[in-house]
Amino acid sequence: MAGPRMATTHGVVRRFAAASRLPRLQRSHVRVTVRPKGGLNLKNVSLIRLAQALETAEKLSPEETLEDIVCPNITQNIVVVSTPASRNAGPYAALQLIRLGSTEYHVSAYTATSDDTCKGVIRGLDVDIDERQLAAIIVNQRNPKAMEVHPVTETTTVVVLFSGLKVPTMLCVLCTIVCGICRERVIYNHGLVAHRVEADRL
């Protein structure tokens, strides 16, 4: 028979789970998780100012973000942005810095991939082009299925997330470039997990 201490523990777990639960969002939306760094505690900031800071940082107009939903999760100290526009997901996922008042905070952001997305890989891009610049030249009207980009550190390889289940054979990156199907393998290196990006022969 469980004692009062065990019952109290289960009650705390249930309350934490309830507080961590996000509101029901559209299944068709793309979700981007933004995780603050540098001591930013969401309990201590205006959530409206936070939403405005996100919109300002990713440089989309109010009209473009009209249907986007910003969901702060105070318990986990994260923000989930839900957007019906796949073209908005790239700028959100590329966020690295937001400004609240006179203070700048570093953030990390990533897209929660759904069942109707796929990944491609392109090679031969300059290593001195940063992630934000890559997003600007890839995630745009010329590549309507492209949602976000992830350069592989210290290589000329870039992984591109697409909406839908078909990877395009070509991308327009100022000029046209061949795109292959991305295959990721998990590699264990001295007990640490790393990811190796492979592709079909281009």
What percent of the chain clears pLDDT 90, i.e. is strictly above it? 11
Residue 60 pLDDT exceeds 70: yes
Q: What is the pLDDT of residue 170?
A: 94
Contacts of 187 (CB under 8 A, 6+ apart): 193, 194, 195, 196
Contacts of 113 (CB under 8 A, 6+ apart): 161
Question: How is residue 77 written in tokens?
Answer: 């100290």
Tens-place pLDDT, residues 90-118: 888 888 889 888 889 998 888 776 667 78
**What's the pLDDT band for 63 if we cut at 50, 70, 90?**
confident
Angstrom distance (rounded) from CA 52 to CA 59: 11
Comparing 3-12, 95-104, 128-137, 156-165, which segment has the lowest mean pLDDT?
3-12
Q: For the residues 65-87, what does the mean pLDDT come to?
A: 86
Angstrom distance (rounded) from CA 199 to CA 202: 8
